[in-house]
Amino acid sequence: MNVSEKVRREEGGLWETVKVIIQALLIAVVVRTLLFQPFNIPSGSLIPTLLVGDYLFVSKYSYGYSRHSIPFSPPIFSGRIWASEPQRGDIAVFKLPKDNSTDYIKRVIGLPGDHIQVLNGVLHINGVPVKRERVEDYRTTDLFGRMQSVLSYRETLPNGVSYRTIERDGDRGYWDNTNLYTVPPGHFFMMGDNRDNSTDSRDEASVGPVPFENFVGRAEIIFFSIDESASWRFWEWPGLIRWGRMFQPIR
C-alpha cells in the first residue's frame, strides 16, 4: 500500500465516523422533538406526586406539536398541528407564558372557559367543590431542611382523576383563598400538588393561565430518581437512589 492509498483510507474512515455521529445526532433530535424528551424535577411544587431528583420522560406527541416542541422554540409556525387538548388531571410540561422559554411542570386543573377558585384550601371548579378526603400525613422537609409531617388529602377531579396533595400551612396558606379565575379560550389553569409551595396559575403575575401553544408534552414515566442531597460523590449514589420510584408511571 502506497502513502496516497493509506491517506485515502484514513480519510474515508474519518468521514464514516463523522457520518455516524451526524446520523446519531439527527436521530436524537427527531426522537426529542417528535417522541420523548427527558426532564428532571428541580423543585418541590408537585410533592408528593413528583420529588426533587426525579427524572422522567415527557411524551411530545400527546398534545400535538407547536414551535415549543422544537429545541430553542424557533418561531417557524404558530399554533399547534395534530393537536389533542390536555385532559384535566394531566401533569404537563409547558413554557412559562411570561418568557416563553422557562420550563415549568404542573397539573392541569382548569380547562378553557372554566371558573376556578380556592376557598379555605378547597378547590372549586365551576362553583362546585372538588372532592377532598383526608389521608395520612406526609413526611417532608421544611424550608430549613428539617423533617416535618404535613396535612395530606386525596383530591378527585370531576373526570375521576385522583391524586394526593399536601398543605404545609394547613388551609391558611397564602393561596388557600383566591379570587375567582376564568380560564380564557385556548388556555389552561395549572396547579401544583404542593398547594402552599407552588408558583402556578393562581399567581397571575408570575404564571397565570397557560396558552395551549406553550405546552411541551405530558409527563409519562419516572426513569430515574435520586435524593436531592446527592452530590458529585458518585460512590454515595447507590444509597441515595430511590429504587422504588424508577419506571413508575406518573398519575
State the pairing for strand pair 91-95/103-110. Answer: antiparallel
Residue 117 has pLDDT above 80, yes or no: yes
C-alpha cell at 139: 413526611
- Give, as one character, the DSSP assignment of residue 64: B
φ and ψ of 225, to 5 deg: -155, 135
Least confident piece of the model among 17-26, 67-76, 162-171, 191-200? 17-26
**3 pLDDT more than 60:** no
Domain count, the chain: 1
Place of cell 399567581: 203
**45 among known catalytic residues:** yes
User: What CATH number is given to the structural domain containing 112?
Assistant: 2.10.109.10
Supply the range of the domain harboring residue 115: 3-249
**Model pLDDT for residues 142-188, shown as the tens digit of each residue:** 777 788 899 999 999 999 999 999 999 988 899 999 999 999 999 99
Place 6 in a pLDDT band, splitting at 50, 70 and 90.
low
Q: How far is CA 107 from CA 9, 12, 78, in A?
A: 56, 52, 24
Among candidate residues 45, 69, 201, 225, the one labeled active-site is: 45
Please state, in angstroms and rounded to a whole number, the distance separating the CA atoms of residues 146 and 140: 8
| pLDDT (tens digit per residue) in 56-66 | 999 999 999 99
Select which of 69, 106, 152, 201 is catalytic. 106
Averaged confidence pLDDT in the chain: 89
| Cα gap 169→166, rounded to integer Å | 9
Q: Which helix (H) or strand (E) holds 11?
A: helix 3-30
The CA radius of gyration of the chain, in Å to the nearest whole number, is 22
pTM of the entire predicted model: 0.85
pLDDT at site 7 = 47
CA distances in angstroms from 234 to 38, 237, 239, listed in the order given: 21, 5, 10
